[in-house]
Structure 1
Amino acid sequence: MSEQQAFDATARKRLYWHSRRGMWELDLMLVPFFENCFDGLSNEDQTAYQTLIAREDQDLFLWLMRRGEPDDPALVPIITSIIDYAESTRTGDVRPL
């Protein structure tokens, strides 16, 4: 494995762990999205995801629950992608509170 590949694997693992949050609701949206979609994102969207993950849980919760929008419009497309993925993979008759 080359040094660059090792760095990428390490960086990806770190980003996975940063996707795990202190709020269960965020974990349910971010972890599956990361596991199933991150590698297929464009470089721009991967950068936006990394920027998003650096934000506070309270902000992420508001944005992912569609109760607000980020001050950075560059985050809107990745937030929309996460929401769309969560809705497309939702199973059962789970209703939001």
Structure 2
Amino acid sequence: MSEHSRLRWKCRRGMRELDLLLGDFLERGYADLDAAGREGFERLLEYPDAVLLEWLMGRIRPGDRDVARLVEQIRSATAG
């Protein structure tokens, strides 16, 4: 399985909204991340769906600055 396919699979979640947000970011913004950002994205995918949804909808801000920065990148890349 290629790296892209593996990440695409990890972007599939229990909520359709997350599938769309994370999958769109994988296609639109992931390639622009540096190595640390790519590692951060993989760590982000380990969080529970409910937490990810709150972050990505902007309801709650992650306490970790690196995670917060990545969440903002995802939100910006997938907006409109």
Q: Same fold (TM over 0.5)?
A: yes
Q: State the SS of the aligned residue for 1:83.
A: helix
Provide the residue aligned with 1:75 in structure 2: 67
User: Is 1:44 the counterpart of 2:36 in the alignment?
Assistant: yes
1:38-92 Cα distance to aligned partner (Å, 9 max, x none): 12211111111111011100000000011112232220111000101111xx2xx
User: Is 1:25 the counterpart of 2:6 in the alignment?
Assistant: no
Answer with 1 or 2: which has the greater Rg.
1
Higher relative contact order (CA 8 A, sep 6+): 2
Q: How far is 1:34 from its partner?
A: 0.2
Q: How far is 1:18 from its partner?
A: 0.4
Provide the residue aligned with 1:95 in structure 2: none
Q: Quick one: distance in 2 between partners of 1:66 and 1:36?
A: 20
User: Is 1:57 the counterpart of 2:61 in the alignment?
Assistant: no
- Structure 1: stretches of 5+ with no match in the other structure: 1-8, 91-97
After TM superposition, the score normalised by the length of structure 1 is: 0.75
Q: Which runs of 4+ in 1 moved over 3 A?
A: none
Match of 2:27 among 35, 53, 65: 35
Is the deviation greater in 50-59 or in 27-36?
27-36
Aligned residues: 80
Q: State the SS of the aligned residue for 2:2.
A: helix
Coordinate RMSD, CA, aligned = 1.4
